[in-house]
Amino acid sequence: MADGRATSGPQPAPFLHDVAEGPPEARAWWVDSADGTRLRLALWPEGEKGTVLLFPGRTEYVEKYGRLATDLAAAGYGMAAFDWRGQGMADRPRHRRDMGHVVSFDEYREDVAAFRAALAALGRTGPCWLIGHSMGGAIGLRALHDGLPVRAAAFTGPMWGIRMTPVLKSIAGIVMGLAGPLGFGTTFAPTTGPWQPMDFENNPLTTDRDQFDYMSRQVARHPELALGGPSILWVKAALEESRRLLAMPAPRVPAVTLFGSAEDIVEVPAIRARMADWPDGRLIEIEGGRHEVLMESPERRHLSLKTILAHFNSHA
């Protein structure tokens, strides 16, 4: 992904105000990871209660959370969101820019370290809070183990395990084990492929048409944001990271985790297992919700946001 650029401090980057629908003061910055991969950081005005660090999921980008930034601002929180390597406007894989690809989730740990340094350089040193969604939930959990300085954490549909069909799960170990030696680790994982527009009727993300259209409109207007399926090596790395995270004791950070009862992307038993022994941790099931509980129907979205804000406020 890197192209030999020398690392430097944060530099101004584009921000797509036309699709974010968030506070107009948002600004974006280029940030270089340790290996030279260029990432993108978005900052919204700092709130009197501190800054929420938004760790997006796979395929996502900072503008997707413009509406959430508005809600957080109204509650007294600023927000910072990140384009991980391989998605959004960050550097994409050289072999295929529409494929999600890493060899190890340690690459995302490098990204977190780079973002932390950039936030300090930009003067965001006040109290921080974490929201980790989907893949961002795995990256966020690892970051807590690495000492991410937040007062409390919230996770929505965290990827602490990947939902697979029984057939795919039965052959996953063999396929992943052979991917590297046989040279097909950088091909799309089984059942995935290039990006394609999603139909509302069959989407696994949300039951709400307005929120679905909001996400679809962003990629329609800016197709450079689109991302297809992951590589086989990405899936292998994700499964390995999930196993490692579940084997570790829960971090000593107050946490609340929310998931929809109609979750169909991440593995719910893994979420239940992780939260079962989390000190000062709570697990909330959003009835009828799908993967995006913060982009669900107004009632479900309100409940999710209210739960997270109450959690943050109680640990201020």
Q: What is the pTM of this model?
A: 0.95
Question: Residues 144-165: what's their mean pLDDT?
Answer: 95
* Token reading at 192: 């995935």
Q: What percent of the chain has pLDDT over 70?
A: 92
Note the pLDDT of residue 164.
Answer: 74
Question: Residues 23-47: what's their mean pLDDT?
Answer: 97
HSE of 274, CA atoms in CB hemisphere, 13 A: 29
Q: Which residue has the higher pLDDT, 166 or 149?
A: 149
What are the two backbone dihedrals, phi and then psi, of residue 48, each rounded to the nearest 5 degrees? -70, -20
What are the two backbone dihedrals, phi and then psi, of residue 213, each rounded to the nearest 5 degrees? -65, -35
Per the prediction, the chain carries an average pLDDT of: 93
* Token reading at 286: 């959003």
The residues, any chain, with a CB within 8 Å of residue 244's CB and separated by 6 or more, are: none
pLDDT at 175 over 70: no
* Token reading at 212: 């679905």
Note the pLDDT of residue 41.
Answer: 98
Q: What confidence category does residue 182 fall into, taking pLDDT thresholds of 50, 70 and 90?
A: low
pLDDT at 246 over 80: yes
Note the pLDDT of residue 183.
Answer: 67
Contact 273, 300 (CB under 8 A): no
Note the pLDDT of residue 179.
Answer: 67
Q: Which residue has the higher pLDDT, 191 or 290?
A: 290
DSSP the chain: ---SPPP-S-EEE---HHHH-S-TT-EEEEEE-TTS-EEEEEE-PPBTTBEEEEE--TT--GGGGHHHHHHHHHTT-EEEEEE-TTSTTS---SS-TTSB--S-THHHHHHHHHHHHHHHHTT--S-EEEEEETHHHHHHHHHHHTT---S-EEEES--SSB---HHHHHHHHHHHHHHHHHT-TTSBPTT--S--PPPGGG-SS-S-HHHHHHHHHHHHH-GGG---PBBHHHHHHHHHHHHHHHHSPPPSS-EEEEEETT--SB-HHHHHHHHHT-TTEEEEEETT--S-GGGS-HHHHHHHHHHHHHHHHHT-
pLDDT in tens, 93-119: 999 999 999 999 999 999 999 999 999
Q: What confidence category does residue 4 fall into, taking pLDDT thresholds of 50, 70 and 90?
A: very low
Question: Residues 270-297: what's their mean pLDDT?
Answer: 97
β-strand pairing of 38-43 with 78-83: antiparallel
Q: What confidence category does residue 173 fall into, taking pLDDT thresholds of 50, 70 and 90?
A: low
List, edge to edge, every strand of the sheet that includes 128-133.
11-13, 27-32, 38-43, 78-83, 51-55, 128-133, 153-156, 255-260, 281-286
Note the pLDDT of residue 170.
Answer: 55
Question: Residues 10-32: what's their mean pLDDT?
Answer: 98
Residue in the structure block whose two tokens are 């893949």: 135
pLDDT at 223 over 90: yes
